[in-house]
């Protein structure tokens, strides 16, 4: 059914989602691993993998942008796909920046907030997975993601709850003031991933609804 240009774009987008999800999974693995090991030095190689996945997602995104501008595609679809990619790209970027923060600033994650941070990490992974799967569905049955977009919102709210709980715990503890600020920033940084997933979900909702009226 698809013309050649559309087929190429779909293939690249599948590829992008796969790579971005790989980046998220590896990033989450590093975050949880750092919490368990205390010594994040062991995870430096893994961080390199996260960076590599993030940068290949970037390359694929650029490639898609080039195809979108060089091939004849409806202006409305071109705008929608470019906008969606821009939103999606913030997910692997944010994971990479959270992981780098832990390692570069050598943040020690105390057991006090481990449970919350772990929950945030797990939910973030699920949320990102649903987001990228929804993108895939958008290109095979464009109305189907509507069923899943609500889940993204629900995960984002759940992360918000754990985020508040963790920050409350940090500031009511006896930790050093500097460490408190660092930990708060880290929690906020990781929690941003689901916010970005939610924004991508909202954008997909607009893309779908626009095509249903």
Partner 1 sequence: MKLFLMFLSAFLLGATLGANDAGNVFGTAVATRFIKYRTAVLLTFLFGLLGAVLQGGKGIDPLKSMTEQSIDTSILVGLVVASVGLVFTFLGQPISLSQSVVGGLLGLALSQKNFNLAVIEKIILSWITAPLIACLLSLVIYKVLTALFIRLKIGILDREVMIKLGLVFSGMVGAYALGANNVANTVGMFAGAWEDVSYTMLALLGGVSIGIGVVLFSKRVMMNIGKGIVFLDGFSAFVSVISSGIAVYIFSIVGVPVSTTHTIIGAVIGIGIHHGFHTLNYKTIRDIVLSWVLAPTICLILTSSGYAIFIL
Q: Residues interacting with partner 1, by CB under 8 A?
A: 1-3, 6, 9-10, 72-77, 80, 138-143, 207, 210-213
For partner 1, the closer CB: 105 or 140: 140
Whether the CB-CB separation of 124 and 28 falls below 8 Å is answered with: yes
* Residue 158: count of CB within 10 angstroms of its CB: 17
Shortest Cβ distance from residue 209 to partner 1 (Å)? 11
Q: From the CB of 148, what's the least distance to partner 1, in Å?
A: 15
Answer positive or negative: Cα dihedral of 88, 105, 27, 151.
negative
In angstroms, what is the minimal distance from the CB of 108 to partner 1? 46
**CB 72 → partner 1: shortest distance, Å?**
7
Q: Which is nearer to partner 1, 53 or 64 (CB)?
A: 64
- Residues in contact with 161: Cβ distance below 8 Å, sequence separation at least 6, in sequence order: none
Q: What distance in Å separates the CA atoms of residue 89 and residue 184, rounded to the nearest whole number?
A: 24
DSSP assigned state of 43: G
Neighbours of 142 (CB within 10 A): 14
The residues, ordered by sequence, that sit 6+ positions from 18 with a Cβ below 8 Å of its Cβ are 132
Nearest residue to 44 (alpha-carbon basis) of 25, 26, 30 = 30
Residues 157/198, Cβ–Cβ less than 8 Å = no
- Tell the smallest beta-carbon distance from residue 6 to partner 1 (Å): 4
| Residue number with CB closer to partner 1 (161 or 210) | 210
Distance in Å, CB of 16 to partner 1, minimum? 14
| Token output for 179 | 């460490």
Count the helices and strands in the chain (H runs, E runs): 6, 0
Task: Decide whether 44 or 211 has the Cβ nearer to partner 1.
Answer: 211
Q: Which is nearer to partner 1, 75 or 177 (CB)?
A: 75
**Which residue number, 24 or 200, has a Cβ lying nearer to partner 1?**
200
């Amino acid at each position: 059914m698809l013309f050649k240009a559309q087929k190429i774009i779909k293939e690249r987008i599948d590829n992008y989602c796969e790579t971005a999800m790989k980046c998220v999974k590896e990033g989450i693995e590093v975050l949880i691993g750092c919490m368990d090991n205390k010594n994040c030095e062991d995870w430096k190689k893994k961080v390199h993998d996260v960076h590599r996945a993030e940068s290949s997602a970037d390359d694929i995104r650029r490639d898609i942008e080039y195809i979108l501008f060089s091939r004849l595609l409806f202006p409305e679809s071109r705008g929608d796909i470019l906008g969606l990619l821009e939103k999606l790209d913030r997910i692997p970027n944010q994971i990479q920046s959270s992981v780098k923060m832990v390692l570069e600033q050598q943040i020690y994650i105390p057991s006090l907030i481990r449970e919350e941070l772990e929950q945030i990490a797990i939910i973030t992974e699920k949320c990102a997975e649903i987001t990228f799967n929804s993108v895939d569905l958008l290109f095979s049955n464009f109305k189907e993601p509507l069923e899943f977009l609500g889940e993204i919102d629900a995960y984002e709210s759940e992360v918000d709850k754990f985020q508040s709980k963790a920050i409350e715990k940090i500031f009511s503890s006896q930790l050093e003031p500097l460490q408190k600020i660092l930990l708060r920033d880290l929690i906020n940084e990781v929690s941003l991933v689901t916010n970005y997933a939610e924004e991508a979900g909202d954008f997909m909702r607009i893309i779908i609804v626009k095509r249903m009226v």
